[in-house]
């Protein structure tokens, strides 16, 4: 009789533990995916892709070299975040990979004003007086002179 109660208690304990784990996983997934971008693209869509320099080992000799950011067409969809793109042959990389931060490519006019004929902005050159730093260290009397 005592063994039967113990097995029921252990089974109940395991069921409660499994329910608590599943509930906690749902909470964590909800918090993690709160700020995520869930975009899905179809075959033929143009997507703006940022390729990291790790994909181009022959260009990793300098961190000042430009990174590759361009728009490419989706050839096929593998999963919700994995696509095959139409890359030029000169890239010499695999065209299938997960898209980290995709954005829909919109072929807009490069002018960001609402009306291109609208005058905008201040094109006047602002002249400022540039003071040369002195060769000796800045002291309190010199700071007072500079403020005047």
For residue 137, being part of any structural domain is answered with no
For residue 15, being part of any structural domain is answered with yes
For residue 4, being part of any structural domain is answered with yes
What per-residue confidence (pLDDT) applies to 14? 98
Please determine, for residue 31, whether its predicted confidence score (pLDDT) is greater than 70.
yes
3-state secondary structure of 13: helix
Higher pLDDT, 31 or 56: 31
Torsion-angle region of 92 (φ positive above 0: left; ψ -120 to 50: alpha; else: beta): left
User: CB of 41 within 8 A of CB of 71?
Assistant: no
Domain that holds residue 56: 46-104
User: Confidence band (pLDDT; 50, 70, 90) for 6?
Assistant: very high
For residue 113, being part of any structural domain is answered with no
51 shares a domain with 19: no
What per-residue confidence (pLDDT) applies to 42? 84
55 shares a domain with 30: no
Quote the mean pLDDT of the chain.
75
55 shares a domain with 24: no
Query: pLDDT (tens digit, 9 = 90+) per residue, 78-116?
Result: 887 788 888 777 777 777 777 666 666 666 555 555 555
Query: pLDDT (tens digit, 9 = 90+) per residue, 115-137?
Result: 556 566 555 666 766 666 556 66
What is this structure's pTM?
A: 0.43
* Cα distance between residue 13 and residue 148, in whole Å: 78
Give the number of domains in the chain.
2
Residues of the chain by 3-state class (helix, strand, coil), percent to 5: 30, 15, 50
User: CB of 74 within 8 A of CB of 41?
Assistant: yes
Closest to 82 measured CA to CA, from 36, 40, 29: 40
User: CB of 84 within 8 A of CB of 49?
Assistant: no
72 shares a domain with 31: no
């Amino acid at each position: 009789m005592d063994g039967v109660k113990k097995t029921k208690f252990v089974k109940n304990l395991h069921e409660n533990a499994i329910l608590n784990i599943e509930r906690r996983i749902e909470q964590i997934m909800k918090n993690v995916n709160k700020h995520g971008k869930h975009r899905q693209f179809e075959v033929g869509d143009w997507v703006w892709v940022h390729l990291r320099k790790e994909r181009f080992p022959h260009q990793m000799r300098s961190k000042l070299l430009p990174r590759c950011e361009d728009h490419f067409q989706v050839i096929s969809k593998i999963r919700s975040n994995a696509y095959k793109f139409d890359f030029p042959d000169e890239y010499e990389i695999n065209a299938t990979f997960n898209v980290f931060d995709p954005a829909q490519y919109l072929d807009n006019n490069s002018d960001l004003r609402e009306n291109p004929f609208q005058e905008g902005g201040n094109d006047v050159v602002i002249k400022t007086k540039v003071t040369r730093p002195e060769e000796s260290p800045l002291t309190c009397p010199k700071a007072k002179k500079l403020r005047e």
